[in-house]
Amino acid sequence: MPAVTVENPLTLPRVTAPADAVARPVLAVTTAPSGFEGEGFPVRRAFAGINYRHLDPFIMMDQMGEVEYAPGEPKGTPWHPHRGFETVTYIIDGIFDHQDSNGGGGTITNGDTQWMTAGSGLLHIEAPPEHLVVSGGLFHGLQLWVNLPAKDKMMAPRYQDIRGGTVQLLSTPDGGALLRVIAGELDGHAGPGITHTPITMVHATIAPGAEVTLPWREDFNGLAYVLAGKGSLGAERRPIHMGQTAVFGAGSSLTVRADEKQDAHTPDLEVVLLGGQPIREPMAHYGPFVMNTKDELMQAFEDFQKGRLGTVPAVHGMTAGGPQD
């Protein structure tokens, strides 16, 4: 799990919560069910079973892999539409190509993030490049859906190509953790991702036995998803392990600890920390569309069926297909 790393975290700016910070309690821990997406790549549904009032403004998140593909096995998604939200694809290991009907696109690899604001709507495709399909290899990443407020749902689509080398790297006072701020800000340190809905997204690597207590905006919710390893959360030391999501309650700091012993495949605790300002608007979500009302949802389907969300460009290497369910 390389993503972006440094040899000595003590060379980085360090963050910690102030002494008077109010610790956020752990309200719930859920285990993500496994399934398949697109043309058949394995995913864990990180937010399954969590009430939306705890997730808002986040809609869903899939952990893609970690999987070691044999030659000929790598898979992606066919062309499909989106409207009304943003998709954030973070590649930890492997390579993914992206293309959309609005002219956006590119290749993302270890530590890179593709941030697509669907807004009023577009078609897009994500697939491994041809050489990876031929050779096989390791693939691991996340896709997060972030809702847009009603006033921004029909904005013009936008694409951000965030290279791993541009993320804000931080550590803790003892150097026991490497914090990658992908979007938003942490203790005044801003990540490169530009968001319409205020959020913070951090990928933390925590050494065995180390503890992280971070300041967290009180007007944000708080979520933690374990990509690999095992540890505990909060003052109550609630256990958590790979494939589980924790929901934090109110407060101004959150704490994550890595167990003293990790397994040989996972030397550290790898966790994604998410916080966002709830939108608190009605949500109508079905398949690839996230709107505010059922009528808007029906309009999105009609616009897609009538070709108003764009057309599939004829570009070598990308395969046309039907919409995602």
pLDDT higher than threshold 60 for residue 315 = no
pLDDT tens digits, residue range 123-142? 988 887 778 777 888 888 99
Burial 26-41 (b: 16+ CB within 10 A, else e): bbebbebeeeebbeeb
How many other C-beta atoms lie within 10 A of the C-beta of residue 48?
Answer: 15
Give 8: exposed, middle or buried? Use CB within 10 Å, 0-12, 13-18, 19+.
Answer: exposed
Of 199, 168, 216, residue with least CA distance to 18: 216
The top-scoring range by mean pLDDT among 130-139, 156-165, 285-294 is 285-294
pLDDT tens digits, residue range 49-89? 999 999 999 999 999 888 888 887 767 788 999 999 999 99
Q: Tokens 């207590």 identify what position?
A: 213
pLDDT higher than threshold 50 for residue 324 = no
Cα→Cα distances 16→177, 188, 246, 255, Å? 11, 11, 20, 10
Give 162: exposed, middle or buried? Use CB within 10 Å, 0-12, 13-18, 19+.
Answer: buried
Q: How far apart are CA 86 and CA 33, in angstroms?
A: 23
pLDDT score for 102: 83
pLDDT score for 128: 79
